[in-house]
Amino acid sequence: MSKRDYYEVLGVSQDASEKEIKKAYKKLAMKFHPDRTQGDKSKEETFKEVKEAYEILNDDQKRAAYDQYGHAAFEQGGHGGGGGHGGGFGQDFGDIFGDIFGGGGRGRQRQQRGSDLRYNVELSLEDAVKGKSLEIKVPTYVSCEPCDGSGAKKGTSAKTCSTCHGHGQVQMRQGLFAVQQTCPTCSGKGKVITDKCTSCRGQGRVEKTKTLSVKIPAGVDTGDRIRLSGEGEAGEHGAPTGDLYVQVNVRDHEIFVRDENHLYCEVPISFVTASLGGEIEVPTLGGKVKLKVPKETQTGKMFRLRGKGVKSVRSTSTGDLMCKVVIETPVNLSGDQADLLRQLEEKMASSNKKHSPKETGFFDGVKKFFDDLKG
């Protein structure tokens, strides 16, 4: 006898979503389950057919194979018929209502992995750019040595839970309904420790401050994280260890401001150098370099020093250093020096040349503004 199409069995279309398939299965399972049909063999066979269809269509890989090859994909030792999927009717019905009431799942609980930890480290800009190795002390939980993380006293071991017989869950029936719940005796572990380790009191882990060596790669910046696998907290009763994340924060620098691969700084120059031009020394992370300032340079002029920036951990190229020159006004002038400046100003004022084009343009704009207001 040929099998019916699985989509037809569940009453859904071929493009039905996972949610629609599950909804259809629950509806049919409640209708045809043997606990409700009182020994009706035909309905029992229908339930097996529904269950088989659901197990195929609810699995992405099996569904894809069925869509391409049909029932032939599961013949000759393939997925097989409805009765060969393991588990009894009671277990199936428990799964159906477990989804509704929050029980769900079979077997014991998976061991809970230890918690991840975070350690904040503060670096100077120089260390962040060049990289650095450092030692950190991390308070955490580590696996208990005397019991090797099992929680049981040396020479003993955990025993199978007598309540759930190692399954980690118990099934409670209330008339038609069957609901699976976490075993209250073993908390879902399937085993209980009757003779606990005195060092860890049955937890399988103890508190300890670990000293770790951390290599900070060159080019890190604020917000970057370095993952140390397996250096977090040990899980209870031999469960896997979590990870440690080293969170980087780079302190503000007195001279430089970093923006990804580029560095920025301000360099003060005298008004004489700005007017006549000259050569000045500019700081970089690798030492001082010479910068030629052309004559008539205005304050705020930006100079780019290529390749004098930073190479970040996510880049293959090195950024630039951007130097902004700021003209510094002389202070603490003597009488003679002040007289010389006045003489210079008088000579420039009597000249036919415009020595301060921005100043002239600004006041011309101000005059036009007030003239327009009057008009």
Q: Are strands 244-250 and 117-123 parallel, antiparallel or unpaired?
A: parallel
Residues contributing to the annotated binding site: 144, 147, 161, 164, 183, 186, 197, 200
CA angle 227, 232, 233 (to 5 degrees): 165
Task: Give the pair of three-digit tokens for residue 196.
Answer: 């606990």
Looking only at Cα atoms, what is the longest distance across the chain? 119
Task: Give the pair of three-digit tokens for residue 67.
Answer: 């869509």
Query: 4-12: which pairs have CB atoms within 8 A and are 24 or more residues apart?
Result: 4/49, 6/52, 6/53, 6/56, 6/57, 6/66, 7/53, 7/57, 9/49, 9/50, 9/52, 9/53, 10/50, 10/53, 10/54, 10/57, 12/57
The residue assigned the tokens 């428990």 is 94
DSSP E strand boundaries for the chain? 117-123, 132-143, 159-160, 169-174, 177-182, 191-192, 205-216, 225-228, 244-250, 257-259, 262-270, 278-284, 287-293, 302-305, 321-328
* Strands of the 117-123 sheet, one edge to the other: 117-123, 244-250, 225-228
Residues contributing to the annotated binding site for Zn(2+): 144, 147, 161, 164, 183, 186, 197, 200
Amino acid at 153: K
Task: Tally the residues of the chain.
Answer: 375
In angstroms, rounded to a whole number, what is the distance separating the alpha carbons of residues 146 and 198? 9
Amino acid at 172: M
In angstroms, rounded to a whole number, what is the distance separating the alpha carbons of residues 118 and 27? 47
Residue 204 region, left (φ>0) first, then alpha (ψ -120 to 50), else beta?
Answer: left
